[in-house]
């Protein structure tokens, strides 16, 4: 503990001696983490949208032809139930469909009150296990007797899945790139600090200092940079994200019936992630630059 | 203490040390002399384990350091105190802090540091300047701090790399008196030097290296006849008188610096008295 205290003190002393350099490094790492954070929140939300939409669209709507007899409807129900990958078949009568539509329209539902007759057909909500089952159903169902049409948003789901994959890959590539850049930045800062203390390190080694003793203040310095950057970057990401979700969150909710992931929840995850990342960047970066000196 | 057994070291085609065998015993005071490029620095770097020999063995306090793993190197260096020609003090630290630093590096407790630092500063007679910065000190005073730092961790051997190289003759003699005192107190001293008058005056064991070989090993400074060195004037008898005077007065209780101020009127101590006093230390 005494040694840790000594090393920590040395780390702060050396940060104090190189204030400008450490400040710039914290700024650079914070910027990197901020970009990383924005990628991350985009990734989490797009993923959530995709999952949520996929879940909603695991339902294939099968519309029944006008004037189909009850026996035919029953037979159709059985045929649908017997199809592979079908989990549940729910019959929605045209009356139920109208009630549901009125619910969706909310305040504007009065517009539907004056219709001469209910224009909606009877339909089935067919819940399928997965996308493959949905595809199969979309292909087979129209061939069954009594089926007018089917509605299945395959294209939308696929596009969303594509977008999600793109954001996912982009995020991973960006994260790796930014992590490497951050490590290089920290390594260079620490290298300059080491240069400034070259004489001191030389004396320390002549005095019989162990490598870990020489290394510790530099690594702690790197870790402090990482931690400070992590906290600042989390704060900034939180601010920006809350602002964006505040501005467009309601619209997204109205259009897609989906909420943004709450900022507080995401910021906690981000903070933990950034702290781990900061410690990693700081320690790896400083170890890289001090190693060469210790090998001398 | 330090033993080289058939040690050879080459740098490319240059032979730095060629089949060197030597034994420096505990409590010895040894001068290592020779022209530039003779192999003196290689000799020291091998002891410090900055280099490994191509052939042969090096024993430090009976331990074969040639086979030592890298992470054990600090243990070797902790047994050695280094004194440099250019002092190598940390400018941003005070005299006290420079010496304390040597102990902090070895994780010594605050209590130990508080006790030891004033003690070594007193020993080298610089305690009154403990709160000064190196830039505020004369070259001789800076070298005293360098020696104090080297002694802080009670090393078994003190290696001095041209410690008087940057000092005027009188200050150089002061430093030599201090080193002799430290040697009398039991620390082995190995000193690399070009200063002929000092070697002649001290009348200690002199190991001369040339072209990587030990060409002479014996008492006295006669070996200098074989070298064309730009040494200081050959005024060995005067230098010896100064050192003897300083040493005697140090032993009678005066600090080396006090002795220098009174060197023109030295306290008379007979040779027998000096021997008696020395026996108390040995």
**Which residues on A lie below 8 Å from B102 (Cβ)?**
207
- Asked whether the beta carbons of residue B88 and residue A3 sit closer than 8 angstroms, the reply is no
Nearest to B77 among A3, A6, A208 (CB): A208
- Asked whether the beta carbons of residue B106 and residue A208 sit closer than 8 angstroms, the reply is yes
Q: Report d(CA B25, CA B10) in Å as an integer.
A: 26
Phi-psi region of B56 (alpha: psi -120 to 50; beta: other; left: phi over 0): left
Our CA-based measurement puts residue A207 at a distance from the nearest CA of chain B, in whole angstroms, of 6
DSSP string, A235-247: HHHHHHHHHHHHH
Mean pLDDT of chain B: 81
Please enumerate in sequence order all residues whose Cβ is within 8 A of that of B251, keeping only pairs 6 or more positions apart, or say none: B181, B184, B269, B274, B277, B278, B281
Average pLDDT for B94-106: 92
User: Cα-atom radius of gyration of chain B, to the nearest Å?
Assistant: 19
Is B268 a residue whose pLDDT tops 50? no
Residue B127's pLDDT is: 94
Count contacts between A and B (CB, < 8 Å): 45
**Which residues on A lie below 8 Å from B77 (Cβ)?**
205-208
> pLDDT tens digits for A247-275?
887 777 766 667 788 888 889 999 999 99
> pLDDT tens digits for A193-211?
888 888 888 888 888 888 8
Domain with CATH 3.30.70.3040 in chain A: 58-152
Residue A26's pLDDT is: 92
- Asked whether the beta carbons of residue B106 and residue A209 sit closer than 8 angstroms, the reply is yes
**Domain limits, chain B:** 2-79+155-236
pLDDT interval class at B224 (50, 70, 90): very low
- Asked whether the beta carbons of residue A208 and residue B107 sit closer than 8 angstroms, the reply is no
pLDDT interval class at B238 (50, 70, 90): low
Counting runs of H as helices and runs of E as strands, what totals does chain B give? 10, 10
- Asked whether the beta carbons of residue A208 and residue B105 sit closer than 8 angstroms, the reply is yes
**Which residues on B lie below 8 Å from A209 (Cβ)?**
74, 105-106
Residue of B nearest to A6 (CA): B104
**Which residues on B lie below 8 Å from A204 (Cβ)?**
105
Predicted TM-score (pTM) above 0.80 = no
ipTM of the complex: 0.71
Our CA-based measurement puts residue A55 at a distance from the nearest CA of chain B, in whole angstroms, of 59
Average pLDDT for B224-236: 44
Nearest to B77 among A6, A200, A206 (CB): A206
Residue B233's pLDDT is: 39
- For domain A58-152, give its CATH number from 3.40.980.10, 3.90.550.10, 3.10.129.10, 3.30.70.3040: 3.30.70.3040
Is B131 a residue whose pLDDT tops 60? yes
Residue A117's pLDDT is: 80
pLDDT interval class at B248 (50, 70, 90): low
Residue B225's pLDDT is: 45
Residue B272's pLDDT is: 60
Is A289 a residue whose pLDDT tops 80? yes
Least confident range of A257-266, B59-68, B230-239: B230-239
Mean pLDDT of chain A: 84
Give the residue, B271 or A59, on which the prediction is more confident.
Answer: A59
Residue B249's pLDDT is: 52
Residue B246's pLDDT is: 57
- Asked whether the beta carbons of residue A213 and residue B153 sit closer than 8 angstroms, the reply is no
Which residues of B fall below an 8 Å CB-CB distance to A?
A: 48, 71, 74-80, 82, 88, 90, 101-102, 104-107, 109, 149, 153
Quote the percentage of chain B above a pLDDT of 90. 43
> pLDDT tens digits for A176-189?
888 898 888 888 88
> pLDDT tens digits for A7-39?
888 888 888 888 888 898 899 899 989 988 888
Quote the percentage of chain A above a pLDDT of 70. 95
Our CA-based measurement puts residue B225 at a distance from the nearest CA of chain A, in whole angstroms, of 34
Task: Determine the topology of domain B2-79+155-236 in CATH.
Answer: Rossmann fold (3.40.50)
pLDDT interval class at A152 (50, 70, 90): confident
Tokens for A270, please give them: 């981000």
Nearest to A209 among B71, B74, B79 (CB): B74
Residue A169's pLDDT is: 87
- Asked whether the beta carbons of residue A210 and residue B88 sit closer than 8 angstroms, the reply is no
Residue B241's pLDDT is: 59
């Amino acid at each position: 503990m005494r040694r840790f205290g000594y090393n920590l003190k040395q780390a702060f002393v050396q940060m104090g001696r190189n204030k400008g350099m450490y400040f710039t490094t914290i700024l650079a790492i914070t910027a990197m983490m901020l970009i990383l954070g924005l990628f991350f929140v985009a990734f989490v939300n797009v993923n959530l949208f995709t999952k949520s939409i996929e879940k909603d669209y695991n339902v294939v709507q099968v519309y029944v032809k006008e004037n189909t007899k009850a026996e035919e409807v029953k037979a159709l129900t059985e045929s649908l139930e017997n199809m592979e990958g079908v989990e549940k078949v729910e019959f929605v009568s045209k009356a139920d469909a109208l009630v549901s539509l009125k619910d969706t329209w909310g305040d504007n539902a009065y517009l539907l009150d004056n219709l001469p007759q209910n224009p909606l057909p009877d339909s089935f909500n067919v819940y399928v296990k997965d996308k493959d089952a949905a595809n199969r159903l979309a292909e087979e169902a129209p061939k069954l007797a009594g089926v007018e049409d089917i509605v299945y948003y395959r294209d939308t789901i696929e596009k969303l899945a594509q977008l999600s994959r793109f954001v996912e890959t982009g995020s991973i590539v960006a994260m790796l790139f930014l992590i490497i850049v951050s490590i290089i930045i920290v390594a260079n800062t620490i290298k300059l600090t080491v240069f400034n203390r070259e004489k001191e390190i030389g004396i320390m080694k002549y005095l019989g200092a162990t490598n870990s003793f020489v290394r510790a203040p530099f690594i702690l310095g790197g870790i402090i940079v990482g931690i400070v950057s992590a906290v600042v970057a989390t704060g900034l990401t939180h601010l920006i994200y809350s602002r964006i979700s505040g501005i467009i969150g309601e619209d997204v909710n109205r259009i897609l019936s989906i909420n943004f992931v709450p900022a507080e929840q995401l910021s906690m995850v981000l903070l933990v992630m950034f702290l781990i990342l900061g410690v990693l960047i700081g320690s790896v970066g400083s170890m890289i630059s001090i190693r060469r000196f210790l090998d001398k | 203490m330090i033993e080289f057994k058939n040690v050879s070291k080459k740098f490319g085609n240059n032979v730095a040390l060629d089949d060197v065998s030597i034994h420096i015993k505990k409590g010895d005071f040894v001068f290592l002399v020779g022209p530039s490029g003779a192999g003196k620095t290689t000799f020291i770097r091998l002891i410090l384990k900055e280099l490994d020999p191509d052939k042969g063995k090096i024993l430090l306090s009976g331990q074969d350091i040639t086979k030592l793993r890298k992470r054990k190197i600090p243990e070797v260096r902790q047994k050695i105190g280094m004194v440099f020609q250019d002092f190598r003090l940390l400018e941003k630290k005070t005299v006290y802090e420079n010496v304390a630093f040597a102990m902090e590096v070895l994780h010594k407790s605050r209590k130990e540091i508080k006790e030891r630092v004033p003690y070594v500063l007193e020993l080298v007679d610089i305690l009154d300047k403990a709160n000064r910065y190196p830039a505020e000190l004369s070259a001789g005073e800076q070298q005293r701090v360098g020696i104090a730092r080297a002694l802080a961790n009670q090393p078994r051997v003190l290696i001095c790399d041209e410690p008087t190289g940057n000092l005027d003759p009188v200050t150089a003699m002061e430093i030599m008196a201090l080193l002799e005192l430290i040697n009398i107190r039991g620390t082995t001293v190995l000193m690399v030097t070009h200063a002929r008058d000092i070697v002649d005056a001290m009348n200690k064991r002199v190991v001369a290296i040339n072209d990587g070989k030990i060409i002479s090993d014996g008492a006295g400074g006669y070996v200098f006849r074989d070298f064309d060195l730009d040494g200081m004037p050959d005024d060995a008898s005067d230098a010896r008188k100064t050192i003897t005077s300083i040493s005697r007065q140090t032993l009678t209780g005066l600090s080396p610096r006090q002795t220098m101020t009174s060197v023109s009127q030295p306290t008379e101590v007979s040779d027998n008295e000096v021997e008696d006093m020395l026996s108390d230390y040995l």
